[in-house]
Amino acid sequence: MNSLWAFLASIALIRTTIYSYLPERLRLYISSRFEEWTSRFTSEETMVFKDYQSSKMNQLFQAANLYLGESLPTISIPRVTVEKTESVRNLTFSMEKNTEMIDVFESVPMKWRYFSDYSQGMHKHEIRWYELSFHKQYKGLVTKSYLPYILERADKIKERNRVVQLHTAAHDFWTPKPVIIQHPMTFETLAMNGNLKKELLEDLDRFMNSKEYYQRIGKVWKRGYLLYGPPGTGKSSLIAAMANHLNFDIYNLNLSSVSSDLVLQNLLLSMANRSILVIEDIDCSIKLQNRESGIEQPIKYHQQNKSFSQVTLSGLLNFFDGILSCCGEGKILVATTNYKDRIDPALLRAGRMDMHIHLTHCTFSAFKQLALKYLEISDHNLFHHIEKLLPEVKVSPAEVAGEPGED
């Protein structure tokens, strides 16, 4: 018996020694052959998910990472890696190299192992992969249910972990490094007419939940909102609250800095799905009155006497209907203006701007919300004077909040 153990130990030693001197390709070849041979005698089957497949990120690897990371804090495992980076909202857990864990799906145990190694050759880089092992009889369950389930769960986790980012356009492109927005404005802290707030929240939630509906009726999953009202009434604050509520990125576009319709199209095509495109002060950034002349000419803007912007009204309309309609999904367009009457009615019709939201000077109800938020008071003996004064003295929420408006 002793000699048998000694023989097996020597084989293991020889194998390890030979392995460490073999080139990586040969090593992989031998181990895959060996596994093929041993699999004849086992009832277990293993799937391998490498991080990159033909230099493209393997979505299954990413999904497994997120999915397993979510259950790691709740199971007993000797070592886990924990991270928190600026670009994600929550703690991120992941498996340590050469460790394993069991996940149970529809009462079937699924064994996951995580590995990493360095590639051989000139450009050494880390290769990471997961191995999923299960009983052969569950192969159908794994491919038809378990893996699609992991992909779906990973999408939800990604969505939950996302932080809202602000993208701005410069030199006809979105800047490569968006800024992470930690704007504290939410629908709870925004002082706004209660009914209007409720109506808008319902509209946003309905929009978010109607992807299938839009698909069924053949409409593109997009929605446009026009926010109008005097300076300092909360248009930018409302956009931040919408982005925080939906967890959508904001793409801020200043139309007057866009050099042509083509650039406008390209900017839109490079926006991510589930994002808000904001065109602030739409009436200032583009003059739209020459539509009445019937001649569609590029509208030229002199920018600091150096360059011209040439966005046309038809380019803009095309952008709203056509292009916005064919590039991706879950897009929200928000245009703001201090002067709604200066905007061409063609831009305002339903389908382009589905909801027009009027943000007004401070009402007594908004004032009370601000007083509660800033001073933590819900009543005061001056309140009834303020209630009488507010309709006469036009004051913006920004002024009440101590931040003077532009007027």
Contact residues toward ligand ATP (CB under 6 A) are 190-192, 231-237, 338, 397-398, 401, 403, 406
CB of 233 to ligand ATP, least distance (A): 5
Q: Residue 378 — φ and ψ, nearest 5°?
A: -105, -10
**CB nearer to ligand ATP: pick between 64 and 243:** 243
The Cα–Cα gap between 164 and 253 comes to 16
Question: In angstroms, what is the minimal distance from the CB of 300 to ligand ATP?
Answer: 25
Q: Pick the closer one to ligand ATP by CB: 236 or 290.
A: 236
Please list, residue by residue across 218-246, b when 16 or more beta carbons sit within 10 angstroms of its beta carbon and e when fewer do.
Answer: eebbbbbbbbbbbebbbbbbbbbbbbbbb
Q: Which is nearer to ligand ATP, 204 or 398 (CB)?
A: 398
- Nearest distance from residue 200's CB to ligand ATP, in Å? 12
Q: In this complex, which beta carbon is closest to ligand ATP, that of residue 58 or of residue 236?
A: 236
Q: Are 134 and 110 in contact (CB under 8 A)?
A: yes
**What does the block give as tokens for 58?**
């393997």
DSSP 175-230: -SSPEEP-----TTT----HHHHHHHHHHHHHHHT-HHHHHHTT--SEEEEEEE-S
Alpha-carbon separation of residue 339 from 78, 220, 269, 286 (angstroms): 62, 29, 29, 13
Position of minimal CB gap to ligand ATP: 234
Minimum CB separation from ligand ATP for residue 342, in Å?
14
Q: Compute the least distance from the CB of residue 282 to ligand ATP, in Å.
A: 12
Nearer to ligand ATP, 161 or 236 (CB): 236
Q: Which is nearer to ligand ATP, 72 or 401 (CB)?
A: 401
Nearest to ligand ATP of 267, 398 (CB atom): 398
User: Distance between CA atoms of 253 and 167, rounded to whole angstroms?
Assistant: 9
Angle (deg, nearest 10), helices 59-71 and 147-161 = 70
Identify whether the C-beta of residue 311 lies closer than 8 Å to the C-beta of residue 299.
yes
Query: Which residue number, 64 or 190, has a Cβ lying nearer to ligand ATP?
Result: 190
Shortest Cβ 192–ligand ATP spacing (Å): 5
Shortest spacing between CB 398 and ligand ATP, in angstroms: 3
Nearest CA to 224 among 271, 185, 165, 277?
277
Show the CA angle centred on residue 39, arms to residues 128 and 59, nearest 5°: 30
Q: Shortest gap between Cβ of 187 and ligand ATP (angstroms)?
A: 10
